[in-house]
Amino acid sequence: MAGAIDGSEDPTHCAGLHRGMHPRTRLPFVILGVNMALQGTRKNKFVKAWMQEHVNDHWVKEATRLGYRSRAAFKLLELAEKDQLFRPGIGVVDLGSAPGSWAQVLHERLGGGARIVANDLVPMDPVTGVTFIQGDFREDRCLAAVEQALAGRRLDLVLSDMAPNLSGIAAADQARSILLAELALEFAVKWLQPGGDLAVKIFQGEGFQEFQQTMLPYFQRVHVRKPKSSRDRSREVYLVCKGRLPQ
């Protein structure tokens, strides 16, 4: 193993380093190599544990059985049932839609008369009755494309399952989560007709309560929801905003 201490010939020798180096000079490199090896081992163990959990997950099995593309379908189903988000034929925008399980639920529950527009940064396989726009919602060009797809029609429901690519730096990840939620709120305020609803994913942490407060002037009620199908260890929750107020 690169970086491991080889004691068979020289107890101070580190594989891959020159023998002429003084042992005290080599020591930091030895430690670095061992740490890297341990980190790799931990990562492999984490991936294996995650895969094992994923395969055995109840919601994953249910999604497979019912033909949904991911377990996230059950988050939307629970939110919709609890807060009465669905009505036949409504206009909906689904932000952060890939791989498409929410779009599947929308088409299934809203019927053929619904206007459903979905957006994500990454590709999404087609879903019947859903207009998909690939692009970065943070960019004006993508926002314009989504708005053009609405053809001037006001919305009844805005959904955002957008989440940042996690860096492992909690403060940075939290800030990115808040930014995406702010973009979803800004869009909803502009396009929801009076009485319309918004459901947006956000991470609990710094800035969460402040963001929740910014929603209050625009809606009759704001609820914090943690769907049963959301993993217990996850900091994600959904802010469900009911009844867009006239401005």
198 vs 225: CA distance, rounded Å: 12
Q: Which long-range contacts (CB under 8 A, 24 or more apart) does 139-147 make?
A: 143/187, 146/93, 146/117, 146/119, 146/187, 147/191
48 vs 104: CA distance, rounded Å: 29
80 vs 242: CA distance, rounded Å: 11
Confirm whether 201 is a catalytic residue: yes
Cα angle value 187/193/196 (rounded, 5°): 85
- Find, among 26, 37, 30, the residue nearest to 5 by Cα: 30
200 vs 182: CA distance, rounded Å: 9
φ and ψ at residue 168, rounded to 5 degrees: 90, -10
Q: Which of 201, 226, 228, 242 is catalytic?
A: 201
239 vs 202: CA distance, rounded Å: 7
φ and ψ at residue 204, rounded to 5 degrees: -70, 140
Active-site residue numbers? 201
